[in-house]
Amino acid sequence: MQSWHCERSFTGFITGLFTLYALGSLPAQAVDRFSLTLGTKENWDSNFARNAAVDSEHYTQSTASLRLNQKLSKQQFSVGVSGNDYRHSLREDLDVSFYEGDASWRSDWNSRVKTAISWQRDAYAVDRLEFADKDVVARNNLTGQLTLGGLGRIGFTFGARKIAQTHSNPLREVLDYGDDEGFAAITYTMATQSFLSVRLREGERHYKYPFIKSPFTHESLVLDFDYRQLELEGAWALSRKTQLGFTLGHFDRDGQINTGTGTQAQINMDWAISEKLKLSVDFSQSEPALGETSDSPAVIRSSRLVMGWEPSAKWLLSMSASYSQLSYLLRETEPARDENILSFSPLNITYSVSDNLRMRLDSQWVDRESPLVYRDYDYALASFGVTLMF
């Protein structure tokens, strides 16, 4: 199963916006007008329940996706949709199907004025630690922006976005919320496609059920809040083989319980050691707002190391390791605490049988350390999948 990290929306939003800006100045790439992808993956999980008691499970994930790309003069359109289906051997009550999708319209009106409108829907079936029953979390993101150039390497971007996060299980609707936001940015692009961007975001968040009980006074507090966030993003080609990227943000939340200042950060370095061997290192920190998830850690710090080896055009081997520290504040039923998650993927293999057929084998071991017995566990996960592309 997949799970969202809070920094994902932070960095994905920033990088996506710059990508829309930068694509306007890059040569057109050859893209298939229509594509169809079919896939199936078998998963074996040694501790599906995510607790101290071992509870193994085997489940099958099937996917099908369609994508259409069309360019008309200076207008570029793209739309895609994918369906996901999970079938469990033992926990048939958790069988679930859901969809994801995206659409975009990018217009280069002239060399100085560009517009972009995009919609994206991400979804995932929750992990058992997050919720014992069946639930699909969906996040819809609608963004529109105007980019103005004409000052050499400097560009200005203005836009707005609307986010809605929903849960399919009625018991989890207390975590549904919506964001309304406006943003403005100035970006300086260098000849090497390196860039530096400063962005200001202002918005407000409203929860479907905004009241939560205080663990100290037991009075009802409001989760809704207004926010302002200043961000600095950069990407540098340090050498022909090394690229460095970062996003740093400082936010100010104004609400009853979600209030105060904090920081978010994402740092990434990619190093092509040779033509066949590549190394990637990531570090991130985020301070999620209370109510984003049922977990709601106050601070998340994560580090990740990935090494990939491509011995031939058909084979790709990789291994990775990550470490995360999650800090929790005192809640009504749980104490303040730190939890650590260590994850190790000793071997992931992708084999391209042909241009249309690909097979993949993945392995992972995860150890979660917590002072709470029911949250202290480890598990091993193995999967084998086949993908057809047309």
DSSP string, 247-281: EEEEEEEEESSS-EEEEEEEEEEEEESSSSEEEEE
The range of the structural domain enclosing residue 175 comes to 6-389
Instruction: Tell me the sheet residues that pair with 71.
Output: 76
> Structurally, how many domains does the chain consist of?
1
DSSP letter at 170?
G
Q: In the chain, pLDDT over 90 holds for what percent of residues?
A: 74
Per-residue confidence (pLDDT) for residue 214, from 0 to 100: 66
Q: Domain containing 178 — which CATH number? A: 2.40.160
Residue 127, in any domain of the structure: yes
Residue 180, in any domain of the structure: yes
Q: Is the pLDDT of residue 20 over 50?
A: no
Mean pLDDT of the chain: 89
Residue 178, in any domain of the structure: yes
Question: For residues 338 and 221, is the Cβ–Cβ distance under 8 A?
Answer: no
Residue 1, in any domain of the structure: no
Q: Give the β-pairing of 225-237 and 220-222.
A: unpaired
| Category of 68 on φ-ψ map: left (φ > 0), alpha (ψ -120 to 50) or beta | beta
In angstroms, the CA 10 to CA 236 distance is 20
What predicted TM-score, i.e. pTM, was given to this entire model? 0.84
Lowest mean pLDDT among 53-62, 284-293, 329-338, 368-377: 329-338
Per-residue confidence (pLDDT) for residue 73, from 0 to 100: 85
Which tokens belong to 155? 């560009």
Question: CA 214: distance to chain centroid?
Answer: 30
Question: For residues 347 and 308, is the Cβ–Cβ distance under 8 A?
Answer: no
CA distances from 164 to 40, 175, 181, 329 (A): 29, 11, 12, 26
Higher pLDDT, 308 or 5: 308
Per-residue confidence (pLDDT) for residue 291, from 0 to 100: 86
24-74: per-residue pLDDT in tens?
A: 333 344 457 899 999 999 999 999 988 877 789 999 999 999 999 999 888
Per-residue confidence (pLDDT) for residue 332, from 0 to 100: 74
pLDDT band at 292 (very low <50, low <70, confident <90, very high): confident
Per-residue confidence (pLDDT) for residue 22, from 0 to 100: 37
For 175-238, the DSSP string reads G-EEEEEEEEEEEEE-TTS-EEEEEEEEEEEEESS-EEE-TTT--EEE--EEEEEEEEEEEEE-
Helix (H), strand (E) at residue 7: helix 6-23
pLDDT band at 93 (very low <50, low <70, confident <90, very high): very high
CA distances from 214 to 115, 219, 244, 332 (A): 45, 5, 43, 7
294-342: per-residue pLDDT in tens?
A: 888 999 999 999 999 999 999 999 999 999 999 998 887 788 999 999 9
Q: Is the pLDDT of residue 173 over 70?
A: yes
Please name the residues in contact with 156: beta carbons below 8 A apart, sequence gap of 6 or more: 147, 148, 149, 184, 185, 186, 187
Lowest mean pLDDT among 40-44, 157-161, 237-241, 382-386: 237-241
